[in-house]
Structure 1
Amino acid sequence: MVRGRLSVVGWILLLSSPTAGLASVADLPRTQDGINIDGLLDDLAWQDAVQIDLDKETRPGENIAARVTTVAYLVEDGEYLYVAFDARDPDPTAIRAYLRDRDSAWNDDFVGIVLDSYGDERRAFEFFANPLGVQMDLTNDDINQNEDASWDAIWDSAGRINGSGYIVEMQIPLNQIRFPEVDGKQTWGIDLLRFYPREHRYRFSNNAQDRNVNCYLCQLEKLQGLAGVEPGRDIEIVPTLTASQSSTTEDPVLEPLRSGGSDVDAGVSIRWGVTQDTTVNLAINPDFSQVEADVAQLDVNNQFALFFPEKRPFFLEGADYFSTPMRAVFTRTVADPSVGLKATGKRGNHTYGFFAAEDEITNLIFPGAFGSDSESLAQRNTAVVGRYSLGFGQSSSVGALVTGRKGDGYHNYVGGLDARWKISDQHNVRMQLLRSSTEYPEDVASEFEQPLGSFDGSAAQFNYNYNSRDWFGFLRYSDRGADFRADSGFIPQVNVQQKVAGLGRTWHGEEDDWYTQIRLNGDWDIAHDDDGRMLEREVDVDLSVSGPMQSHFRISVSTRDRLFDDVLYHENDVSLFGEFQPRGGLKLGMRVSVGDQVDFDNSRLGDELRLRPFVIWNINRHLLARYQANFLTLDTKDGASIFDAAVHDVRLTWQFSVRSFLRLTTQFQDIKRNPDVYIDTVDARSRDVGRQLLYSYKLNPQTVFFVGYSDALVDDDQLDRLTTTDRTWFMKIGYAWTP
């Protein structure tokens, strides 16, 4: 890449020229000069760039003058979009910037660009970087008001802190962005952003934000340019090699740890932009195991299955295309696929998605009104999901969803329609209707008390939302029949009809107020089963305050009647939550709840105390410590202990650079039960420990190298100490080849 340096005259012209404020439409210029992405604004091409001031503070201030100066530079060369930010700071020593893995620097200073590349105010791509060049990228689904950080593009960035602030440069390949084929110039919505965390977390932009308008992308100004640009060949081939060696035991009381030998697998993933509108992903013998450990959750006194988010890249890309009001698609149900195929796209007002996988394991959840069971079958199934949405009007749409899983003696098919109607800037309605057909293997159906043979069920959901600057409210209705199953999704409760109504008020602080926002809201809900029995009735009131040191405090008071085991219990509880950042790089928080709680194992009412502290501490620029825990005690009304449980999740990360880190994760669960007050026989104490040491190097999201070690230990009444049940060494190499 050719690199040029500005002459003295060029620098004078660049620094003295007036910054161009963005009108309703700004022109994106093209340059013939090269740009070296190094965090320095010294390349000749930046003289060709349009300059845009980020002169508005939109949070916590409401469209007031930005308190620091930020200038963005934009230019393109037919292959890349180049973006730079000159972020001035009156005290550069106060800049918060740490070396981190991608998509994890949200508490730092950072800048970025949001691109509504179709100009339809529905979906956007977001690119951010902190002052050291750490990348964060997302998709923004404005219809569902959801930002998804799981999307990872391949782009370049660099940042440098200097004596007057910091500079960030970005080079974004146009083939990483979907945009329509048009004659002449493209017209994109654009938002240029700077986040400035000090006493408060300030947000600066080139766009004003009307808080009475319940959409984001509809308020962006436009950028025009890229005439005649085509994205070119969009093919990405990623061969992978994984190797592991495991030693396991299923019964540590009777069997010692046994080596399972070594396992080496090769696979390949292909991403092909068939057209500018459609992308196809194919994975053959993929490594769909996730490298990062899930966040530890306390599995005690729970009625329903715990939810763990998806982390595997193949399923994360384009996940928002499959989003519907009900969680009818949850890709972690695909456990061990031998092959996967996915296609996603958008053409005009039409959005579509499809994926299919051959899975070696069939994971099942058996939902009910009062709890759920689960089972994992060592048998293959074919999983298919199809999604289509037609947009109309301003951010309105109608859509269809079909899912299917079929195996030996087993099937689950789901199909239905959904819609979103944006009535006005403040009012919108969402709804969905689904129908399912299910059949389990006869032995499985008998064991888990499921219907024999094929059976059908239905589900419906209706949501109304009102949002304005000062008021918000909602109405919800859902009906999930007893025989409804969504085995490709995550719906652990059925045989329930629920109605919810809520209303809230927001007060916004002014410049001299000690608070930035106060919210008071409450909701009422009631649920019945298909026979009309009341399952739950609850009233909840919340008061929250945001203030100095980026603090947020909330108090919640609730009262509910809950039916369990044919007894209606009355519960009252109070919860407190608080978090703040006493200084840069340190975030502390705690959630405390106390009140009545049903003991589901023994069908009685008890007294519960729950503490959930967390700490995020950037010890220095390279070292990050994260700790979160969940302490839970439940006593009888007579004061006898039922159980005392705790789970800890500790992670220490040394970040060598923006590309590589070493992380140690330790998770520990300890449950002490009082067998004298249990109906069934239980262990007086059980302990579980999981540890992982991981080294990661990422040239980009697909060109990666991982090597690590993990083990698991357990202890209960049959053991006299923590005993290892699993020990694994693993390695993965992936290389992104773009022919």
Structure 2
Amino acid sequence: MLKSALMFATALQLFSAGEPGPDTTRGTRPAPVAALDEYDGSARQLDVTAPVLSDPGIRIDGRLDDAAWDDAALLTGFTQYDPVEGAPASEHTEVRMLQTAEAFYFAIRADDGSGGVRATMTERDGFGRSDDYVRIILDTFDDQRRAYVFTVNPFGIQGDGLWSEGGGRGFGDPIDWSPDFLWQSNGQMDEAGYSVEVRIPIKSLRFPELESQDWGLQIQRSIRRTGYSQSWAPITGDQANRLAQSGKVRGLTNLDPGMFLEINPTVVGSVSGTFDPDRERLAYGSANSEMGLNVTYGLTSNLTLDGTVNPDFSQIEADAGQIAVNERFALFLREQRPFFLEGADVFNMPKRLVYTRSIVNPVGAAKISGKVGSFNVAYLGAVDDVSSTGENPIVNLLRVKRDVGASSSLGMVYTDRTQPGEGFNRVVGADARLVLGGRYTVEMLAAGSADGVNGIGTDYGSLLSASVRRSSRSLSMSASFEDVMDSFQAGSGFIRRTGVTQVEGRSSYTFRGKRGALVESWGPSIEAESFWQRSDFWAGNGPLETEVEVGMRAFFRGNIGAFLDYRRSSFNFGEDYYGDYFAGLDDASLAPLTVDPSLFGGLQQVSLRSWISTWERVRGSLGASWGETPIFAGGIPVDVGQSWGGDVGLTFVPTGAFQAEVGVRHSRIYRSRDGSEYSSATIPRIQGRYQISRSLFVRGIGEYSSQVRGDVLDPVTGEQVYTCGGDSCRARNGSDRHDFRLEGLLAYEPSPGTVVFFGYTREFEDTSGFGFRDVRPTADGLFLKLSYRFRM
């Protein structure tokens, strides 16, 4: 391993030779130059003709001093869309655009009179919401549904993804940040703002096979110290489809990506050890090495074939710890593996019928994706190496979606997971997304499943869902309905609850202050949600669970926000739900558990969340909650507790190249009956990263997870609760676990797919929470990954 480390160090020296370090100094503002044609977004001059040059001779250095920019189209007249819609931009921005036979070029000039530009020299996709940025959005099919997103911070650090209308889950724009495209950018900061140059190769884009075509174009800018956002084409919150408000690049001709072939071989070597209780130390196996190959081939300008053999799905950062001491259902974990992330937005649906983390360890996989006419298509097939006794499962996923009208779509999905000789799970579904009157969005989904076991039989189930949402800058409303049979099983998806019917409604109103006001916007919201046992709903009986939440949110000058919510919930589980539950001093003296349903009526909880991003060097967030909560056993409430918890996060940016994040989450539940502690969980996490150059960085992570859960007790007698099935009973005992993990990574990534990773992970177990007296290692690992992305 020492020899490998020496070779790795030599490789890093060769890779980074001549590469500039993180230049965080400020130069002088480039002199303004004239333009061939100017397009003022505020005057609705939104139809752009991009000049075509044979050889612009532009060096992507962020200086804007190349003569070719004199002939570029000039985009000006930016307007603000948040927090004050339609107001003139608080800072001047202009963008120049031109094209060649091989690429599109953009020159960005972003002025900032206060000198308060925020920028960090960080890894690709690493600046998130911390930095100022300019975003280029290209709707290459001009279908107002899906677009490429190219984002640059003031240093030209890249962030890219795909905008998918209807694909967002929660706050923020509906952007899937997982794809990584090959393009070039560089930026320079000065005393009056910053400048960035961008080159986007035509090979990196997918577009129709048409002799002449128009593309959607939008430019957005975010100023982080104020929280202001502005755009070239004016944006209003009164229209549901943001891409439909873009400008156009007209008359694009002779676009030819040529042959598109990418070959990405990978080599991974590792050494790992696990704790040997007999020798009371770590036992190491022999060094392992694996080779893999990823291939991407452009079948046409709008259809791509991807294949992988023995893919490397190693994650260079482990999933952050989650508190799981009183959970009823499985926790959702984000997909982080590159092969599955590319093009994942096509599989977005109202419900997660496709969840690629269900493919655990594929031997090989292939997928085809793209757009043919008005049809978006995607297919993914994989052989999953998870069987220890029989043949490996074979997974097939198919998705087809057709554009309808200006912004609507109809789609279908088919998933098949077959274990040869054992059984299968298949799901077929159809969905629709209808945008009506610009403001209203209706989504519907119907799916059926067949879950079969060889020699036993097949169970069939169904899922139905529908929702309607009104988008508005002031009044927003939504309502949804979902009905899932007990027998519905999505073997390739993630459905948290089955056998229930859910009805939900939400409404909010936003008041907006004037520009520069202390309170930029604020408003109330109300949300109501009920769950029924599916048979009870259709029989007209009452719900199992109801929840009403009233909230207030406010956004203040200086990029400060706060949310305050009051929640009242009730649980009404009948006696039949407790048929398998018993209580007693031991399993020889059990009696049926009797639970008073009134314990779970009118439970109240208050929560608060706020964040502040006023200062350049320090940013923070705070969350807290207090109230009553059920104590669950097997998803059924058996007791009531008083809970309180919270989380704190701080981000420190002492220099443009170093960033540290410190956070802690805590939760505690006390039994209401006698005030005794039922559970306690604390997870502190610290992460530091130093960017040695644009492509080379080092990162360290430390996380401690202390999670203690007590026995589930009868709320009246305090006796142990048991669940019984067949001839056996199991005590609902507690658990006590204290883990500590350290991770280190040295990474060189000059472009997506071309990487050198050298990482180390060590895991420990503590005998008591934060005791640090008898800490023993449980696992140890060292890995080296080499990968290069060839493009032809």
TM-score normalized by the length of structure 2: 0.85
Match of 1:383 in 2: 395
The 1:402/1:253 distance shift into structure 2, 3 A limit, reads farther
Q: Secondary structure at the match of 1:388?
A: strand
d(CA) in 2 for partners of 1:715, 1:254? 18
Q: How much does 1:519 deviate?
A: 2.5
Q: How much does 1:691 deviate?
A: 1.5
AA matched with 1:726: A
Say whether the 8 Å CA contact 2:292–2:308 is kept in structure 1: yes
Say whether the 8 Å CA contact 1:54–1:193 is kept in structure 2: no
d(CA) in 2 for partners of 1:327, 1:211? 27
Match of 1:96 in 2: 118
Is residue 727 of structure 1 aligned with residue 776 of structure 2? no
Selected match of 1:711 from 755, 762, 778: 762
Is residue 334 of structure 1 aligned with residue 359 of structure 2? yes
AA matched with 1:85: I
What is the 5 A alignment of 1:592-607? Answer: 592-601=624-633, 603-607=638-642
Q: How much does 1:58 deviate?
A: 1.7
Q: How much does 1:24 deviate?
A: 3.3
Moved more, 218-227 or 458-467: 218-227
The 1:292/1:474 distance shift into structure 2, 3 A limit, reads same
Q: Secondary structure at the match of 1:295?
A: coil
The 1:12/1:140 distance shift into structure 2, 3 A limit, reads closer
Moved more, 273-282 or 533-542: 533-542
Q: Secondary structure at the match of 1:257?
A: strand
d(CA) in 1 for partners of 2:36, 2:485? 66
Residue segments in structure 1 that go unaligned for 5+ positions in a row: 1-10, 363-375, 443-451
Match of 1:648 in 2: 684
The 1:723/1:377 distance shift into structure 2, 3 A limit, reads farther
The 1:523/1:258 distance shift into structure 2, 3 A limit, reads same
Q: For each residue in 1:281-306, what CA deviation from the matched residue of structure 2 results, as whole angstroms up to 9, or x when unmatched?
A: 10011111222211211121111111
Match of 2:259 in 1: 233
Match of 2:181 in 1: 153
Match of 1:368 in 2: none
Q: How much does 1:629 deviate?
A: 2.2
Q: How much does 1:563 deviate?
A: 4.2
Say whether the 8 Å CA contact 2:120–2:155 is kept in structure 1: yes
Match of 2:583 in 1: none
d(CA) in 2 for partners of 1:302, 1:493? 13
Q: How much does 1:30 deviate?
A: 1.0
What is the 5 A alignment of 1:449-598? Answer: 453-532=457-536, 534-563=543-572, 566=578, 567=595, 568=597, 569-570=600-601, 571-598=603-630
Match of 2:339 in 1: 314
Q: For each residue in 1:502-542, what CA deviation from the matched residue of structure 2 results, as whole angstroms up to 9, or x when unmatched?
A: 22211122125321221311111211113317321111111
d(CA) in 1 for partners of 2:398, 2:389? 24
The 1:439/1:197 distance shift into structure 2, 3 A limit, reads same
Q: How much does 1:46 deviate?
A: 1.1
d(CA) in 1 for partners of 2:433, 2:680? 45
d(CA) in 1 for partners of 2:99, 2:164? 25
Match of 1:35 in 2: 58
The 1:554/1:134 distance shift into structure 2, 3 A limit, reads same
Q: How much does 1:440 deviate?
A: 4.9
Q: How much does 1:163 deviate?
A: 2.9
Q: Secondary structure at the match of 1:459?
A: strand
Q: How much does 1:164 deviate?
A: 2.4
Selected match of 2:202 from 174, 187, 191: 174
Selected match of 1:283 from 305, 308, 329: 308
Q: How much does 1:256 deviate?
A: 4.2
The 1:229/1:675 distance shift into structure 2, 3 A limit, reads closer
d(CA) in 2 for partners of 1:152, 1:111? 17
Match of 1:201 in 2: 227
Say whether the 8 Å CA contact 2:39–2:46 is kept in structure 1: no
d(CA) in 1 for partners of 2:336, 2:732? 37
The 1:538/1:340 distance shift into structure 2, 3 A limit, reads same
Match of 2:660 in 1: 625
Say whether the 8 Å CA contact 2:482–2:502 is kept in structure 1: yes
Q: Secondary structure at the match of 2:253?
A: coil
Match of 1:659 in 2: 695
Selected match of 1:296 from 312, 321, 325: 321
Q: How much does 1:676 deviate?
A: 9.8
d(CA) in 1 for partners of 2:653, 2:296? 36
Selected match of 2:431 from 402, 413, 418: 418
Q: How much does 1:401 deviate?
A: 0.3
d(CA) in 2 for partners of 1:196, 1:388? 38
Q: How much does 1:482 deviate?
A: 0.4
Say whether the 8 Å CA contact 2:37–2:72 is kept in structure 1: no
The 1:466/1:676 distance shift into structure 2, 3 A limit, reads closer
Match of 1:448 in 2: none
d(CA) in 1 for partners of 2:734, 2:163? 47
The 1:314/1:542 distance shift into structure 2, 3 A limit, reads same
Q: How much does 1:576 deviate?
A: 0.7
Q: How much does 1:723 deviate?
A: 2.0
Q: How much does 1:603 deviate?
A: 2.0
Q: Secondary structure at the match of 1:400?
A: strand
Moved more, 287-296 or 458-467: 287-296
d(CA) in 2 for partners of 1:354, 1:130? 34
d(CA) in 2 for partners of 1:238, 1:464? 43
AA matched with 1:704: V
Q: How many residues align?
A: 703
The 1:633/1:696 distance shift into structure 2, 3 A limit, reads same
Moved more, 350-359 or 598-607: 598-607
d(CA) in 2 for partners of 1:474, 1:681? 40
Q: Secondary structure at the match of 2:685?
A: strand
Match of 1:108 in 2: 131
Q: Secondary structure at the match of 2:241?
A: coil
- % identical equivalent positions: 28
Q: How much does 1:178 deviate?
A: 1.2
Moved more, 564-573 or 128-137: 564-573
The 1:160/1:717 distance shift into structure 2, 3 A limit, reads closer
Residue segments in structure 2 that go unaligned for 5+ positions in a row: 1-29, 169-173, 537-541, 579-594, 714-719, 722-730
Selected match of 1:273 from 276, 279, 298: 298
Q: How much does 1:138 deviate?
A: 1.5
Q: For each residue in 1:462-511, what CA deviation from the matched residue of structure 2 results, as whole angstroms up to 9, or x when unmatched?
A: 11111122111111110111011111111131111111112221112212
Is residue 220 of structure 1 aligned with residue 220 of structure 2? no
Say whether the 8 Å CA contact 2:766–2:776 is kept in structure 1: yes
d(CA) in 2 for partners of 1:221, 1:133? 24
Q: How much does 1:79 deviate?
A: 0.3
Q: For each residue in 1:120-173, what CA deviation from the matched residue of structure 2 results, as whole angstroms up to 9, or x when unmatched?
A: 111111111111111011210124352111111011110001232211000111
The 1:681/1:476 distance shift into structure 2, 3 A limit, reads closer
Match of 1:14 in 2: 33
Q: How much does 1:325 deviate?
A: 0.7
Match of 1:396 in 2: 408
Q: How much does 1:175 deviate?
A: 1.2
Q: For each residue in 1:673-697, what CA deviation from the matched residue of structure 2 results, as whole angstroms up to 9, or x when unmatched?
A: 5569664475674201121101111
Say whether the 8 Å CA contact 1:684–1:717 is kept in structure 2: no
Q: State the superposition RMSD in angstroms.
A: 2.3
Q: How much does 1:660 deviate?
A: 1.8
Q: How much does 1:50 deviate?
A: 0.7
Q: How much does 1:226 deviate?
A: 3.3
Q: Secondary structure at the match of 2:124?
A: coil
Say whether the 8 Å CA contact 1:123–1:143 is kept in structure 2: no
d(CA) in 2 for partners of 1:437, 1:72? 54
Q: How much does 1:598 deviate?
A: 1.2
AA matched with 2:678: I
Is residue 61 of structure 1 aligned with residue 97 of structure 2? no
